Chains A and B, each alone.
Chain A
Amino acid sequence: MSENLLEIEGLRVHFDTLDGPIEALHSVDLKVGHGQIMGLVGESGCGKSVTSLVTIGLATCDVDEGSVKYEGEEMLFTDSVANKKTQDISGWVTSVAVLALIFAFFWMILINPLQGVVLFFMFLLVSTTSWLWGAAAKSEYRRHQKHLRWVRGNEISMIFQEPMTALNPLYTVEKQISEVMRVHDRLVEAETPRYVRVGQALVSPAALIRDAFSSRPQASIATSSVLAFVLVAHLSGFADSAADAVTAPFVFVFRDLFWVLALLLGGYFVPSRSEIEALNALYRPLEYAAPQVPLILAAALVIFLMLWMPLSALLGMAVISTLLALPAIILLDYLRLDPAHTRQVIGILEDVRIPNPSAVVKMYPHELSGGMRQRVMIAMMMSCEPKLLIADEPTTALDVTIQAQILQLMRDLRDEKDTSILLITHDLGVIAEMCDAVTVMYAGSVVESGSIGDVLSRPRMPYSIGLLHSIPTIDEGSDRRDVLPIIPGQVPDPNLHFDGCRFHPRCPFADETCISTPPPMTEVEPGHFAACHHTDSIGENVAEVQAAFDVFAAEYELEGVA
């Protein structure tokens, strides 16, 4: 076991685009200790998220150099050159051979059967061999991917910025959390074996009818008496006298019974007494009754059709619809969770302090508020008890009061379970609140890192100072008409090339050295690193730097925004 849980060293990656490669990260060094909360801060476009995605092997970029070690174990996979070449060649050969195979097939049909068959099997042999050859060369990569899939969830988990897009809107909370646990083999043994559950599902229509009678007895009795009437009418031959489509309505209009039955059946859709009273408080009864008229007419039509049809057709329809519904019933029940698993999920939701968890497990993401959704995300990620939690802007989309709740929850989880957290954010306030150490990133490289006290009270890199400086505060002393201090300009486009420091166009201290030479990462005090040529002159006089920023910003404004 190594000293740090996660160690990233000299990471350099690029994205292949149509306009050529774009280097997203230049040199990233990052260490997260056991049980530590490390903050990763910077403006958007600084490569914070790319760093975290590379760590868990989800980034779509190519790694040029560097290493990511998790508990001393390399997480990045680099194929040997020979292997890569093999895969390339095999890919080409296979695709050409398959084309030739199709060609041979048509040759066989159209020109010469014997030659065609020989060619067909020859190309079949070539394509299969080369495909197998390529697959063998890829086996190591596959093994690594499989290993990463195990690491993700069991060892490292990630919380994303926008919980609504990270959660599936089609499944309930319990289903989504238990899925993670099923994949990672964390579920307890089910209470009811599956074959019992399928059996139960098959008799579930009976349960459905029982439920209907217990929850809405009057309406259910009305419906069943209508159905009984239809059946009796058919069996007694009464329906036959009404079978004429033209005369049938008149028969029933005269006998009144038709309308009584329609009212009864329509009553099935009518709300209960308490609901009616609640509605009557809002609306006058007449307004309420009017919308029910179409329902009653529809019910009358249904009864009319049921009487008009032969009995055999009715029974046939019933049988067919039952048969069609059966697979759906079995599937739906299969999707329902075992009570033991539900209890397990409820326990996890309690851990993240969700009020009333037994109701929340049955809800869909859209029924939850933003803070609750983020809690569900955290619950999902904590369900496999990972050692490292990567939180990518977990509170950016939330209100301040909810943000306070979520931050406190994450801190508590760290204290209880000793989980390390890599917290990615652009809000230095959150960093100050949460982290033990902080790493500042700018345009794809780490520019400053150190303990929270070092970086926040004695920042040495101008970018960190500017960032700290530009946050509006609620100090009583600060006046409304004060001009806010700013860092002029914006993060450079990643495909711009810089010889020297990437921050120099926005930096008040930039000189010739900054433009020509990249600044080395120097240790300005024990455990506190900064990448700047002027760490000595900037020293510890932060106020002076801030003043310099203000002057520089004013000049920059005059030149106009680049």
Chain B
Amino acid sequence: MPDDSKFDEVLIEVEGMRKWFPIKSGMLTTVKSHVRAVDGVDLQVKRGETLGIVGESGCGKTTLGRVILGLTHMTEGSVHYAGEDIRTMTNKDLRRRLQIVFQDPGGSMNPRMSVRSIVGEPLQVNGMAEGAELTQKVADLLDSVGLKREHMNRFPHEFSGGQKQRIALARALSLDPEFILLDEPTSALDVSVQAQVLNLLEEIQEKHGLTFVFITHALNVVNHICDRVAVMYLGKIVEIADTNDLFSEPAHPYTHALMSAIPEPSLEKASRRRIVLSGDVPSPADPPPGCRFHTRCPIAEEGLCDVEEPKLESIGEGHGVACHFPLGPGKKLPILDDDQIPPEDDDKPKTVVL
């Protein structure tokens, strides 16, 4: 990937990463096959940027994030963090420098711990603060995410979803990490609260000089918070580009379909027909041969797309796409009218059975 002028230092380098989960069955739990959650991903995250990872559920975006954090061990490939292999880093070091915010803020907090202990626990574990100093630090952290000092002695159930997400963010910030993985931080929130949290994230990134990887399935959120976006489909990156390039000139048909599927709250856009992809994401335990998207792709060609797997190739500055027929300025997907949308075929791939 050619470098972005703003961000040139590579913070995280993922090379040929695979994560296969075994499917066990039978009397003596023999391994029958594998779910290929992540199947060969090369990725670079530059220091100070926000990289968005977008895709439907089951495409491996969360697994990719967990492997980067060292929460799951990879099957193959390597992940280097600031030049250091994460497999050789100690857990304590990893957790201090890399943090995570989960999707469901309520589920990631102990309901019997007060906010002070939730936010302060990482500091205690790492021996960074005790007693009054700890209280002061927690108060500062809460202040930085827009909460008040009084909130310190309350319990998670006393907060709304947006406030819980703020607490989760304060906890992630407590060790002053360099990198935070945001795993769908706003998908459980209302739109107005989502906007509040997104603004807060941007503010915090600027203040602390953080690097974010933002995992989500909502492309409209990506547009607001990310510098670069990687689109994933069935364990592979199908397109990666600067946000502006991606939104102005999506090259992969899947990206295009994803973008057109976002419902927009304005009438002119609602009247515009969208590309409706038929069927579901195929099972990652048995991915289709060739291009993995060809079973749902409107422009797939027989004999090429279902045989040969496209490589991630550069088609512009910092813009990579894995498609035999990348779309371009003069080439768009056909947008169908209501009556032209073809009925779904019976022989389309079966659903994800997981």
Contacts and interface: CB of A to CB of B under 8 A. Distances in A.
B204 interface: no
A484 B258 CA distance: 22
Contacts of B279: 355
A483 interface: yes
Contact of A399 (B57, B161, B225, B265): B57
Interface stretch (B129-137, B172-180, B268-276): B268-276
B264 A43 contact: no
Interface stretch (A87-95, A148-156, A166-174, A363-371): A363-371
A274 interface: no
A44 B160 CA distance: 10
Contacts of B276: 401, 404-405, 408
12 contacts: A291-B28, A294-B28, A353-B344, A371-B351, A400-B218, A404-B261, A432-B265, A432-B269, A456-B267, A472-B223, A473-B264, A480-B226
B93 interface: no
B62 interface: no
Contacts of A430: 263
B119 to A, nearest CB: 16
A426 B191 contact: yes
A433 B223 contact: no
Given A355-B348, A429-B262, A480 B224 contact: yes
Given A370-B57, A432-B264, 8 more contacts: A43-B193, A429-B265, A430-B263, A456-B266, A471-B264, A474-B247, A474-B259, A561-B163
Interface in B269-297: 269-270, 274, 276-281
A471 B221 CA distance: 9
A478 interface: yes
B200 to A, nearest CB: 10
Given A43-B190, A486-B199, A269 B346 contact: no
Interface stretch (A62-70, A122-130, A214-222, A462-470): A462-470
Give the size category of B's interface with A. Answer: 35 or more
A481 B49 CA distance: 12
A466 B194 CA distance: 13
Interface in A522-561: 557, 560-561
Nearest to B206: A481
A291 B280 contact: no
B243 interface: yes
Nearest to B145: A561
A427 interface: yes
A282 B261 CA distance: 40
Query: Which of A295, A367, A433 lies at the interface centre, i.e. has the most chain B CB atoms within 10 A of its CB?
Result: A433
B217 interface: yes
Interface in B218-233: 218-221, 223-227
B265 A471 contact: yes
A407 interface: yes
A484 B199 contact: yes
Interface string A369-393: 1111000000000000000000000
Given A44-B190, A480-B243, A369 B261 contact: no
Nearest to B203: A483
Contacts of A295: 27
Given A353-B344, A470-B191, A478 B223 contact: yes
A431 interface: yes
A369 B191 contact: no
B257 interface: yes
A404 B192 CA distance: 22
A472 B220 contact: yes
A560 B267 contact: no
A519 to B, nearest CB: 20
B105 to A, nearest CB: 14
A249 to B, nearest CB: 24
B345 interface: yes
Interface string B175-188: 00000000000000
B175 to A, nearest CB: 24
Nearest to B278: A405
Given A369-B280, A401-B257, A428-B265, A473 B220 contact: yes
Contact of A403 (B243, B263, B264): B263
B42 interface: no
Nearest to A452: B267
A408 B220 CA distance: 20
Contacts of A327: none
B27 A269 contact: yes
Given A372-B351, A404-B276, A561-B146, A432 B267 contact: yes
Contacts of A291: 28, 30
B146 A471 contact: no
Interface string A184-220: 0000000000000000000000000000000000000
